[in-house]
Structure 1
Amino acid sequence: MRTNLPAPSTRSSAYVRNLGILAHVDAGKTTVTERILFLTGATHKRGEVHDGTTVTDFDAQERDRGITIFAAAVSCAWDGHRINLIDTPGHVDFADEVERSLRVLDGAVAVFDAVAGVEPQSESVWRQADRYGVPRIAFVNKLDRAGADLDTAVASIRERLSTVPLVVQLPIGREGEFTGVVDLLRMRALVWHAGRETHDAYEVVPIPADLREQADRRRHLLEEAVAELHAAAMEEYCATSALSTGTLTAALRDLTLSGEGVVVLCGSAYRNRGIEPLLEAVVAYLPSPVDVPAMRGTWGDAVEERAADATAPFAGLVFKVNATATGRLTYLRVYSGAIEKGDTVMNAGTGRGERIGRILRVQADRHAELERAVAGDIVAVIGPKSARAGTTLCAPGAPVVLEPPAVTASVVSVAVEARRNVDTGRLSSALARLVEEDPSLAVRVDAETGQTVLSGMGELHLEVAVEKIRRTHGFDVEVGRPQVSYRETVVRGVSGLTYRHVKQDGGAGQFAHVVLDVEPLAAPDDGTAAQAFVFGSTVVGGRVPQEYVRAVEAGCRDALAEGPLGGHPVTGLRVTLTDGATHPKDSSEMAFRTAGRFALREALRAAEVALLEPVVELTATVPDDAVGGVLGDLAARRGKVSGQAARAGTAVLTATVPLAELFGYASRLRSRTQGRGTFTTRPTGYAAVPAAASGAVLAR
């Protein structure tokens, strides 16, 4: 066990690793986290997901369901380094928890199932990490399971994630006989002995004779792959036809930091095999706060940079808020400077001061008091009252706004109401707290029905939110049938739509004349989704002043809130202001904003508009004898099958299915497969609703 830390006076951000554990649901993220905490001495008993004894899955719902729902931060020490670790959810409904965590992390460990390889949510979280430029290493887990194969898992990493896997270990034994790994860097074997409960549970031994030739070959392949990607390694390789361990290690770190390659390790977290080398790789390859570029922010029109320097002005980003019975916890990544208990910082969004009452080192649901937090730390603070996820806290004398994490638009909604009228006020307060803690939830009041509508990322997301109200606030809630969030889009546009806004009721009047072209916005060639709205102006000669052009754009954006078909938001269109006219006295920004809003509404009524619905990629693993029934059921749900693969007595089916058709699908799949089938989904965007189905949707 190597948990020693440098003395506080000498410790720097170079000795810190801020990393997340990312994976598909059931790949073993939480078990990996538990083993890391146990081996580093942060815990004294190995927690198990199936027993409900894990540190990071401390919420009652997480333990009941056996999945991670909320991102949990923990801290431990290894080889003189402080490791701040966030265990993230693997279920697609909680992808925004992953998004907010990735925004404040410097590195990540991506965990893959050795049997399933890259699964849908593995791919999604990998793309999320790509967006934030987070360096990763990979850990292929569950090598002790039947059907586990490192090479197959690595091939799926290469094919589905479009990266170069750099495998630095070779398994010793297959499936139930898996006992250790060959370290291809130091050319030695690490063997774990069953039944040993000490922290450093592996023994270093010579490479087994039957693996020596394969180990030599794989070391050579690793050197070749690294030399192709790294200039300094290529020079040494050309001169000697080999790479020294020092050169290879340095090159692997450089390739990890640049994202040109991903180091791949393997093991079985449940059997406690492979975790020590994983920790060594975290320290060796993943970046410290001083290794990543300075965080860029803005203040007004100026671009500001905040480097990981404890002596610089303070700047930190809030990535999570949790309202507990003992106080409001604000989770914060400190990017520059330092804060001490009692300091006053500025909320960059509101301009108001916030007092730091307490600083806490977080250990899931337990906390340790700190006097000070410095650049590179991830801590929780008590005191700020208006900070939300994405809020920048900074030194009052050096204001800056850091880029907040993206928030995904909700796709599923349910109507909620308190079962007893006396609890209506409590329900409003509970919903407000939910949205404060989880920005991917949204609450609104339906203008027609007066119902309170809760929107989120999926059925499970909403189910967890409602159950949290019941458990935390102690009253029952009635929930309506889930409804998906539809969109409307322009299929065929209109040109030269003219609208004159004239209003005269005494005193100064209102006058605005606009001419609009409206057309559909095609998706780009790279396969990404089309933009929601693009506005442009071709007006010449100053017929519409620039400030009025901006007002027309604002009015058009107002009109996007409700489409002509069913009042759904409008997306995927381009609006061009081609002409207009003003009045010397009666024209104003308000008049042109009003004209833009009504002009676009008229244009949408004149254009051909189609209804869009959210669609998902469904991946179902079913027994071979149930494939026909499952395919038939998917067809009845308007699913389009895009792939089918055989895997050890089962079939893996991939299909694109409208989200609205998947309510209750879990029960249906269990029925058709005698409880042996499983499925996962991944959002893929929106698609046009067929004419036969759109009538039923609009009639609701």
Structure 2
Amino acid sequence: MNTVNIGILAHVDAGKTSLTERLLYSTGVIDRIGRVDDGDTQTDAHELERRRGITIRSAVVSFTVGDTKVNLIDTPGHPDFISEVERALGVLDGVILVISAVEGVQAQTRLLMRTLARIRMPVIIFVNKIDRAGARYGDLLESIRTELAPSLVAMTRVEEPGTRQARALLRRIGEEGFTDELAEVLAEHDDRFLARFLGDGPALTAYDYTDELVRQTGGAWVCPVFFGSAVSGAGIPELTRAVTRFFAGTPGQAGEGLRATVFKIERGWAGEKIAYARVHSGKFRARTAVSFYRRNRQGALTELTGRASAVEVFDEGSATAGRDAVAGDIAKVRGLKGVRIGDQVGTADGLREQHLFASPSLESIVKATAPGATPDLYEALSRLADQDPLINVRKDDSEQEIAVSLYGEVQKEVIKATLAEEYKLDVEFEGTRTICVERPAGTGEAVEEIDRKGRNLFWATVGLRVEPGEVDSGIVFRRSVEVGSLPHAFHKAIEESVRSTLAQGLYGWEVIDIVVTLTHSGFAAPVSAAGDFRKLTPLVLMNALRQAGTRVLEPVNAFEVEVPAENISSVLLNLVECGGTPHTTTARGSTCLVDGVIPARTVQDFEQQLPGLTQGEGTLHTRFHSFQPAPTPAPVRRNSGINALDRKEYMLRVSGRI
């Protein structure tokens, strides 16, 4: 049996979860369609999801169409949970992008489509809610073509849109207008097809048109568009057949060596980890030792080992069957205690090195209201970080403070509710602040040599030079010393220490876009150890960084705000007062769409004022855009852990005296 893995993506409230329910019902997996408002859907299984009526965690279900098994991942639509979408994209063969026929293309839809186009993911667009009042067809197609997919093909046409009798009818080869429309789109991407269409070669058959459409959809050149309704079922049979036709799956066979990607972690009833993994090749067996690989935030590769105690494969809905997982399967794996989201099992080949979406630009201090509960809170947040690695948890031992990274206020509410329900911890969040970064302002060098009579108490010689790197280059580590001048373990200790130390710069923020060069090295056999280099490197590095100086940069978000035309002047004025820079203003009938950039630190202020400026009709969407110099004086974040900027305190701490 062939297996295809697809995801459903959309702006919030476009009907993703309802579409999943309809697909399960139409393929015979369930005999009753659940409703999001009633909290009885298959994929919103978390109590918080049922209560809020939104998807928070990705969920997996499975159904069969003919001889093809379809594993479907329902992802969140709210931008605060964009990290769930990112993890799903790494394991999919194709995506159904859902758009509301009433609201049309929205800000989150544009963000998702840009990302899908960048990674060349095959996409089918499904326009939902054609039976809702205000549903559109012709002008919406033009909007999709202009804003999302220039090369689209409307595979269905709609009769009586906006009524309960709305129907989606499949367009066929030979139908008036459709053949020429299809040929025009396909010929744009294939000269041989164009030549045959113009009469140079054998005449094109219906099979040729269909085969070329399938090929170009799989290559992410063309985007088929289907219309329908998840509530009434209109257009669903056509969409279901399209999934197995347009998305290339994986035959269920062992093939090469094991390669699987972990995209979700949950906890069992006893608190044990359960990993969800897409198997790309090979076979995932229970009670078999495996290696799994990951990259840390600085890009260094780590290998770990474990033994899967149980492997289950999704089959018909959310049910699982205990058997070996083969290529194409999504497996639930138990027993890998150290596994994390994003790990690749079996091999490091093909391990993704960078995020598709920007990391959170906000953070907040979270405190337990009960005295003495800080250790329990840190443990609970660390477990949540296993399920969402972008919830970066920072602990300041000296102040007993814990900070978490966030995408927005909704995520903060969800974390608070989850801690209360699952861990019985009542917490309070302090005000949200933006996460800044530092970049080197110049060049600096420092060196410390082995000298038992001097300031260097470590059996190690380390010299480092720091200088600005290219924008978005992260941390680049180089050596100007001979590789054989130190044992490999000492070189590795220096590089690892450099990367971990740069998590906090002169102002307490992560240092990015920096080149660090090892200029001096030395050791004394047999007394030198890797620990000497790990402990000395932060002192040398921070001395060099102090000479170079750093600039603090704050995150800037791109924004799109849609408001009634009569309110545009007051909205633009408020945007400027919040530090925003409008770029373009586009009239859309009775509304105006404004885009531009705004400092992340003022987004919440503008968002709170928008309802009053627009009588509650304004909508705002933001996403990370870039970093720009922070206002003076530069914001400072207290350094957590052992601070190498204070040499005396550092030496006392690493020696264990305090």
* TM-score tier after normalising by the smaller chain length: 0.7 to 0.9
| Cα displacement (A) at 1:318 | 2.2
Q: What CA distance in whole angstroms lies between the structure 1 residues aligned with 2:371 and 2:177?
A: 73
Residue deviations 1:60-98, cap 9 Å, x none?
222332322111111112233211100111222212111
In structure 2, the CA distance between the partners of 1:405 and 1:142, relative to structure 1 (3 Å rule), is: farther
The residue identity in structure 2 corresponding to 1:494 is: T
Q: What CA distance in whole angstroms lies between the structure 2 residues aligned with 1:392 and 1:40?
A: 32
**Structure 1 contact 332–380 (Cα < 8 Å) conserved:** yes
1:294-313 equivalences in 2 (<5 Å) = 309-310=253-254, 312-313=256-257
Residue matched to 1:283: 244
Residue matched to 1:216: 176
* 2:75 aligned with 1:88: yes
Q: What secondary structure sits across from 1:653 in the alignment?
A: strand
Residue matched to 2:40: 53
Q: What CA distance in whole angstroms lies between the structure 2 residues aligned with 1:130 and 1:675?
A: 33
Q: What secondary structure sits across from 1:390 in the alignment?
A: coil
Residue matched to 2:297: none
Match of 1:420 among 359, 363, 370: 370
Residue deviations 1:290-309, cap 9 Å, x none?
4xxxxxxxxxxxxxxxxx63
| Cα displacement (A) at 1:470 | 0.7
Match of 2:442 among 486, 493, 511: 493
Residue matched to 1:503: 451
The residue identity in structure 1 corresponding to 2:91 is: V
The residue identity in structure 1 corresponding to 2:20 is: T
Q: What CA distance in whole angstroms lies between the structure 2 residues aligned with 1:517 and 1:426?
A: 39
Match of 1:516 among 465, 469, 478: 465
**Structure 1 contact 501–594 (Cα < 8 Å) conserved:** no
* 2:559 aligned with 1:615: no
| Cα displacement (A) at 1:323 | 0.8
**Structure 1 contact 623–677 (Cα < 8 Å) conserved:** yes
**Structure 1 contact 361–379 (Cα < 8 Å) conserved:** yes
| Cα displacement (A) at 1:281 | 0.9
1:118-517 equivalences in 2 (<5 Å) = 118-130=105-117, 132-145=119-132, 148-161=135-148, 164-176=151-163, 179-186=166-173, 216-239=176-199, 243-290=204-251, 309-310=253-254, 312-325=256-269, 328-339=273-284, 343-349=287-293, 352-357=305-310, 359-361=312-314, 366-394=318-346, 403=351, 406=354, 409-421=359-371, 423-490=373-440, 492-494=441-443, 497=445, 499-505=447-453, 510=459, 512=461, 514=463, 516=465
Residue matched to 2:622: 681
Q: What CA distance in whole angstroms lies between the structure 2 residues aligned with 1:601 and 1:103?
A: 37
Consecutive unaligned residues of structure 2, counting only runs of 5 or more, are: 294-302, 640-658
**Structure 1 contact 118–156 (Cα < 8 Å) conserved:** yes
The residue identity in structure 2 corresponding to 1:222 is: L
The residue identity in structure 1 corresponding to 2:292 is: A
Residue deviations 1:432-457, cap 9 Å, x none?
32122222212221245221222233
Q: What secondary structure sits across from 1:278 in the alignment?
A: helix
Q: What CA distance in whole angstroms lies between the structure 1 residues aligned with 2:368 and 2:494?
A: 42
Q: What CA distance in whole angstroms lies between the structure 1 residues aligned with 2:348 and 2:473?
A: 29
Q: What secondary structure sits across from 2:85 in the alignment?
A: helix
Q: What CA distance in whole angstroms lies between the structure 1 residues aligned with 2:543 and 2:143?
A: 50
Residue matched to 1:197: none
Q: What CA distance in whole angstroms lies between the structure 1 residues aligned with 2:473 and 2:605?
A: 32
Q: What CA distance in whole angstroms lies between the structure 1 residues aligned with 2:393 and 2:522?
A: 40
* 2:26 aligned with 1:26: no
Residue matched to 1:639: 580
Q: What CA distance in whole angstroms lies between the structure 2 residues aligned with 1:511 and 1:653?
A: 58
Residue matched to 1:574: 515
In structure 2, the CA distance between the partners of 1:607 and 1:310, relative to structure 1 (3 Å rule), is: closer
Q: What CA distance in whole angstroms lies between the structure 1 residues aligned with 2:98 and 2:73?
A: 13
| Cα displacement (A) at 1:689 | 1.6
| Cα displacement (A) at 1:372 | 4.3
| Cα displacement (A) at 1:277 | 0.9
**Structure 1 contact 518–603 (Cα < 8 Å) conserved:** no
Q: What CA distance in whole angstroms lies between the structure 1 residues aligned with 2:521 and 2:353?
A: 41
* 2:602 aligned with 1:661: yes
Q: What secondary structure sits across from 2:593 in the alignment?
A: strand
In structure 2, the CA distance between the partners of 1:40 and 1:312, relative to structure 1 (3 Å rule), is: same
In structure 2, the CA distance between the partners of 1:537 and 1:158, relative to structure 1 (3 Å rule), is: farther
Q: What CA distance in whole angstroms lies between the structure 1 residues aligned with 2:72 and 2:139?
A: 28
**Structure 2 contact 291–305 (Cα < 8 Å) conserved:** yes
**Structure 1 contact 171–178 (Cα < 8 Å) conserved:** no
| Cα displacement (A) at 1:424 | 4.1
Normalised to the residue count of structure 2, the TM-score between the two structures is: 0.83
Residue matched to 1:305: none
Q: What CA distance in whole angstroms lies between the structure 1 residues aligned with 2:69 and 2:29?
A: 11
Q: What CA distance in whole angstroms lies between the structure 2 residues aligned with 1:591 and 1:426?
A: 33
In structure 2, the CA distance between the partners of 1:280 and 1:493, relative to structure 1 (3 Å rule), is: same
Residue matched to 1:204: none
Residue deviations 1:340-368, cap 9 Å, x none?
6x54342435654424335253677x534
Q: What secondary structure sits across from 1:27 in the alignment?
A: coil
Consecutive unaligned residues of structure 1, counting only runs of 5 or more, are: 1-11, 188-214, 291-307, 524-529
Q: What CA distance in whole angstroms lies between the structure 1 residues aligned with 2:460 and 2:258?
A: 50
**Structure 1 contact 103–405 (Cα < 8 Å) conserved:** no
Residue matched to 1:299: none
Q: What CA distance in whole angstroms lies between the structure 2 residues aligned with 1:169 and 1:323?
A: 43
Q: What CA distance in whole angstroms lies between the structure 2 residues aligned with 1:21 and 1:515?
A: 48
Residue deviations 1:377-436, cap 9 Å, x none?
113234443332233445xxxx66662585564432222222222644443332232122
Q: What CA distance in whole angstroms lies between the structure 1 residues aligned with 2:340 and 2:391?
A: 13
Residue deviations 1:227-256, cap 9 Å, x none?
232355334313279742211110011111
State the percentage of identical aligned residues. Answer: 30
In structure 2, the CA distance between the partners of 1:533 and 1:174, relative to structure 1 (3 Å rule), is: same
**Structure 2 contact 364–432 (Cα < 8 Å) conserved:** yes
Q: What CA distance in whole angstroms lies between the structure 1 residues aligned with 2:179 and 2:580?
A: 45
Q: What CA distance in whole angstroms lies between the structure 2 residues aligned with 1:384 and 1:542?
A: 36
Normalised to the residue count of structure 1, the TM-score between the two structures is: 0.79
| Cα displacement (A) at 1:553 | 5.2
Residue deviations 1:261-316, cap 9 Å, x none?
222222233342221111111111111114xxxxxxxxxxxxxxxxx633655443
| Cα displacement (A) at 1:537 | 5.2
| Cα displacement (A) at 1:111 | 1.6
Residue deviations 1:34-56, cap 9 Å, x none?
22112112222222333333222
The residue identity in structure 1 corresponding to 2:214 is: R
**Structure 2 contact 467–515 (Cα < 8 Å) conserved:** yes
Residue deviations 1:76-130, cap 9 Å, x none?
1223321110011122221211111111111111122345544332233334434
Residue matched to 2:655: none
| Cα displacement (A) at 1:674 | 3.0
The residue identity in structure 2 corresponding to 1:377 is: D
